[in-house]
Structure 1
């Protein structure tokens, strides 16, 4: 997980997971619309899961 992805996931979470597939983008987008913090957490979890 790069520093730029972390910064991007804090500023605009759906854009940080754009290459993880449509499902990830939709989940993060919905969570971001419901509240910014859940969107950031979901984006960080998705990015961290890919790194392992």
Structure 2
């Protein structure tokens, strides 16, 4: 499931860079707003930054959220 989610985030980052970063971090993080600014300044820098942020982020373990239940 992790590979599929990351693939979709990268695909969204190519189409609309802040959207891919939003799916990874949400809208209240520095990474998202930096992606918005870079996309406004130039589409290609926004794509490069968004893909970089998504690929270098360590894989999240969604199962850890339910281990306390």
* Same topology, TM > 0.5: yes
* Greater helix content: 1
Contiguous gaps of at least 5 residues in structure 2: 60-69
Report the TM-score when normalising by structure 1. 0.85
Which of 30, 35, 40 aligns to 1:28? It is: 35
Report the TM-score when normalising by structure 2. 0.66
CA RMSD of aligned residues (A): 1.6
Q: How many residues are matched?
A: 52
Contiguous gaps of at least 5 residues in structure 1: none
